[in-house]
Structure formats: structure tokens, C-alpha cells
Amino acid sequence: MAKYDELPVFKATYDLLLRIYIVSQHWSRDIRYTLGEELKKEVIEILQLIYQANASKKKVAFLSSCRVKLIKVRLQIRVAKDLKQLHLNQYGLLAEMQENISKQLSGWEKSERRKEKESKKEDNNNSNNKQ
């Protein structure tokens, strides 16, 4: 098992969190303390779920939760753009970072689902051989 903080998806998500901290400093006060704080909280929760997925034998549930939270993050960033709190280039960078994270999570989840399927097949074969 890789150390969680060495996982590419963890690093990419952490970089997204840092970028959100940087860009949200310039948001209007009411948006910074509502939307901005909620956005940071969601990304931190994704980092926690990545840690849990890495540490768990049953990773799929954690990875699915990560992907749901990432959809919320994507929506919140879009709202920030529509409220004119993000410049187009900032939005583009954040969208690109989210897409990268989404692809990594999808790939990891797909891999884990495949492993679970293979494990179930092996278990079925072993139980059939014992009979």
C-alpha cells in the first residue's frame, strides 16, 4: 500500500485545495466566508476520503463518495465563476485540475471494482472445488 500523501490523486487534490485558498482570498467577503469556506471543506473531505480509501480493503465506497463530493466542488466553482469571483483563466485552471482528479478517481474505482469481481470469482471457484 502506497503512503496516502504520495498518491498522485492525493497530490492533485491537495494542489486544488491550495489553489482554492489562493484564489478565494480575493473574493468578496460574504462569498469568501460562505461559498469559499464550504468549497475548502469539501476538498478537505475528499482528501480524507482518499486517505480512507487507501487504508481500506473496501475502497470502492470511499472512492464513490470522493466522486460525489467532487461534483459538489465542480458546481461550487462554477457558481463562483458565475458570481464573477473567478477570472476565466482561474476557472479554466480549476476546471482542469478537477478533471484530472476525476479521471484518477474513476480509474482507481474501476480498477478496484475489477479486483472485487475477480476476488468474488476466485471465491466461487474455490467453494465449487471444495464440494
Domain ranges of the chain: 4-125
pTM: 0.90
**Tens of each residue's pLDDT in the chain, 131 residues:** 679 889 999 999 999 999 999 999 999 999 999 999 999 999 999 999 999 999 999 999 999 999 999 999 999 999 999 999 999 999 999 999 999 999 999 999 999 999 988 887 776 776 666 65
Rg (alpha carbons) of the chain, rounded to whole number:
18
Pick from 72, 59, 78: nearest CA to 102: 72
CA 40 to chain centre: 12
Options 3.30.450.20, 1.20.1440.60, 1.20.1080.10, 1.10.10.10; CATH of 4-125:
1.20.1440.60
d(CA 59, CA 79): 31
Amino acid type, 73:
V
